[in-house]
Amino acid sequence: MLLELKSTPAMPDRPDLTEDEALASARAVTTLLGRWGLTDEEARQVLGGLAPRTWSRWKAGKIGRIDRDLATRLSLLLGIHKALRIMFVRDTERAHAWIRRANTVFGGQSALDVMMGGQMMDLYGVRRYLDAERGGW
């Protein structure tokens, strides 16, 4: 016999991230995107089309509300960073440079080219590839 499962509300009463966690994640990703050498436009695109003014505030340390989509993007970017640090444990510069290097897995594009597609799945694809490469599956 099949039992009906209750649906999960799209907007839960409890946020996925606390305000402090969201602030810490946004600060970490802002620093990370700088270390990857992304331009402001590239960074805003990878973050889902963040407004120029919002990105300027982030760089100044003034983080506003972070919705579920943006929180997921932050999580994926931090996961990409973690995987690269594991893979290139002794060479931080190489880990940061990998983002811009052409990769046959991505059809000759760089990971940044893929992530610039603007879709959540673009970030997820890079994260999934890195997790598989480092044996995270």
* Digit-coded pLDDT (tens) for 30-44: 999 999 999 999 999
Residue 2 domain flag: no
CB 66 within 8 A of CB 58: no
pTM of the model: 0.84
Q: Is residue 22 a contact partner of residue 73, using CB atoms and an 8 Å limit? A: no
- Split into its structural domains, the chain has a count of 1
| Residue 13 forms part of a structural domain | no
pLDDT of residue 3: 74
pLDDT confidence of residue 23: 84
10 falls within a domain: no
Residue 105 located in a structural domain: yes
Which residues face 110 on adjacent strands? 102
Is position 58 within any domain?
A: yes
Q: Answer yes or no: is 114 within a domain.
A: yes
Q: Range of 58's domain?
A: 19-133
Query: Is the residue at 92 inside a domain?
Result: yes
